[in-house]
Amino acid sequence: MYIVALDTSTEVLSLAIRDDDRTFLFARAGDLRHAETLMPSILQLAHLAGRQMLSPDLVVCTRGPGSFTGLRIGMATAKGIAAGSGCPVVSVPTLDAFAWGHADFDGAVVPAIDARKGRFYTAVFSSGARLSDDLDVEPRSIARRLEGTKRILVTGTDAAALGNALAPYLDDDQVLHIDARSQAGCAASLLELGTAQWNASGPDADGQGPTYIRESDAELGLKVPG
């Protein structure tokens, strides 16, 4: 099965291609120029995989939370590829993708995306199960949710930033771990989660769009105080 997975929810552009038993990964960090770099990078990775034509059997992307613009670019591109090749598209919650693969960790798994303004998009997982909805919170609020948890693994592209912000609020007996590998993005996890979701429930509904848990600055600016 030929699968293309892409994540544009953060400043890291993360791509993965699986062609039967071969997997190819790509990550580029440092900016939000996904509109310019996404398709050329996908085509470059497809060429590396030996595919001259971009005609996958399945396209997987992140659904959110994350960058407003990044999520729109990623989902629009995924739908465009799917429409052009006649294949299905599946979108996966971003925080689930970052938490995937840590079901064996003995403690809480906390994926982190920098939401700016001193806040993070996050959720709490344990033993592969969600313990919270998607959150848009300050580090102090995250620490309160983790009271009594002895071991904490922070993952995601902004794991180091959340780890540094969270540390002052933790008790002395709480041990904080940072997943450095996750700073390269979550496209590899999307291959697994997207395939499982496709097998379990089929493709996204036609009207599926990005999931936002915060209004954009533009939307807030349009509101008139009552």
Express each pLDDT in 133-189 by its tens digit: 999 999 999 999 999 999 999 999 999 999 999 999 999 999 999 999 998 999 999
pLDDT, average across residues 49-63: 94
Q: Is the pLDDT of residue 61 over 70?
A: yes
Q: Is the pLDDT of residue 92 over 50?
A: yes
In a 13 Å sphere around the CA of 78, the CA atoms on its Cβ side amount to: 34
**Alpha-carbon span 18 to 25, nearest angstrom:** 9
pLDDT for position 33: 82
The residue type at 192:
E
Judge whether 42 and 217 are in contact, CB under 8 Å.
no
Indicate the helix (H) or strand (E) that contains 176.
strand 175-178
pLDDT, average across residues 78-84: 96
Q: In DSSP terms, which residues pair with 16 in a beta bridge?
A: 5, 25
Judge whether 134 and 109 are in contact, CB under 8 Å.
no
Pick the CATH number of 101-183 from 3.10.350, 2.60.40, 3.40.1000, 3.30.420: 3.30.420
Q: Is the pLDDT of residue 65 over 50?
A: yes
Q: Is the pLDDT of residue 224 over 50?
A: no
pLDDT for position 218: 46
pLDDT for position 53: 85
Residue 97: phi, psi to the nearest 5?
-65, -40
Q: Where in the chain is the domain with CATH 3.30.420.40?
A: 2-95+186-214
Q: In DSSP terms, which residues pair with 122 in a beta bridge?
A: 112, 135
Does 2-95+186-214 carry CATH code 3.30.420.40? Answer: yes
Q: How confident is the model at residue 215 (pLDDT cuts 50, 70, 90)?
A: low
